[in-house]
Amino acid sequence: MNLPIVYLGPSLEINKAKKIINAEFKPPAKKGDFINLNLITERRDIVLIDGVFLQEYPPSPIEVFQVINNKNFKVYGAASIGALRAVELEKYGMKGIGKIFGLFKKNIINSDDEIAVTFDSNYNLLSEAMIDIRYNIFLSWKKGIIDKETKQMMVNLAKRIYFPFRTYENIIKKAFLFFPSKEKYISKFSNYISINKVSLKELDAIHALQYISSLP
């Protein structure tokens, strides 16, 4: 049985992923990993979700393109670097899955720092993805936790923070410092996010694995 190869790290816990699909799971993809795939001679589905950013370089578009060009492989991307590469290489046959792929494709987001995070050796997040911060701030506004001005202010603050230091703690601390007039909403958001944090990257990773597991 030729199991799909899935590059997965902080976007989705491995235990959750294993409940969705029987696959060969690999760590977040780095430069050279996709070149090595060309040594495989059997038919395989390749699912790119996570890659490295700060630690090393992720697979370049040309590396992924070479795998797409190999008749043994069908390549899918979602959630993180996979979504970004899928937009770049969709016209060559890579299939993108999920909302983050759609946001990149429509140019609603267009920077790789939207998906970039730092993580430890166990893939626990040390920073938050900008796209997830946007999503949680949007949800808190939609639920009436914050007003529209606070929503925009917090998004702008988060975007100005270099991605390895992009945490809710740092965002909230800066919000209190620079926007004391919004203290009520910032406090409400701080309480809200401590127990209601969700991840669009995780949702897209789940969607992608469910899609792959449903294929014949």
Q: Are 176 and 190 in contact (CB under 8 A)?
A: no
User: How is residue 125 written in tokens?
Assistant: 């997040």
Q: Which among 122, 146, 169 is the end of a domain?
A: 122
165 band by pLDDT with thresholds 50, 70 and 90: very high
117 and 11 co-located in one domain: yes
11 and 110 co-located in one domain: yes
Stretch (H or E) spanning 77: strand 73-78
Computed from CA positions of residues 45, 96, 100, 162, in that sequence, does the dihedral angle turn out positive or negative?
A: positive
Q: Distance (Å, rounded) from C-alpha 152 to C-alpha 204?
A: 24
Residue 214 lies in a domain: no
pLDDT at 41: 85
Neighbouring C-alpha atoms within 13 Å toward the C-beta of 122: 2
115 and 141 co-located in one domain: no
Q: Distance (Å, rounded) from C-alpha 141 to C-alpha 213?
A: 35
33 and 135 co-located in one domain: no
116 and 135 co-located in one domain: no
112 and 33 co-located in one domain: yes
pLDDT at 36 over 70: yes
pLDDT at 1 over 70: no
Residue 33 lies in a domain: yes
Q: Distance (Å, rounded) from C-alpha 51 to C-alpha 80?
A: 8
42: CB partners within 8 A, 6+ apart: 2, 72
Quickly count: other Cβ atoms within 10 Å of residue 75's Cβ: 26
Q: Which among 72, 98, 122 is the end of a domain?
A: 122
98 and 142 co-located in one domain: no
Tell me the mean pLDDT in the region 45-51. 97
Residue 102 lies in a domain: yes
Residue 205 lies in a domain: no
pLDDT at 53 over 90: no
110 and 177 co-located in one domain: no
pLDDT at 6 over 90: yes
66 and 86 co-located in one domain: yes
Residue 76 lies in a domain: yes
Q: Which domain holds residue 117?
A: 5-122
Tell me the mean pLDDT in the region 25-35. 94
Q: Distance (Å, rounded) from C-alpha 144 to C-alpha 39?
A: 53
pLDDT at 38: 83
Which position has the token pair 């040390």? 126
pLDDT at 15: 96
pLDDT at 140: 97
pTM, entire model: 0.93
Q: Based on the structure, what is the number of domains in the chain?
A: 2
Q: Distance (Å, rounded) from C-alpha 140 to C-alpha 172?
A: 14
Tell me the mean pLDDT in the region 87-92. 97
pLDDT at 55 over 70: no
38 and 106 co-located in one domain: yes
Q: Which among 100, 122, 144 is the end of a domain?
A: 122
Among residues of the chain, what percentage have pLDDT more than 70?
99
76 and 168 co-located in one domain: no
Q: Are 48 and 85 in contact (CB under 8 A)?
A: yes
Mean pLDDT of the chain: 95
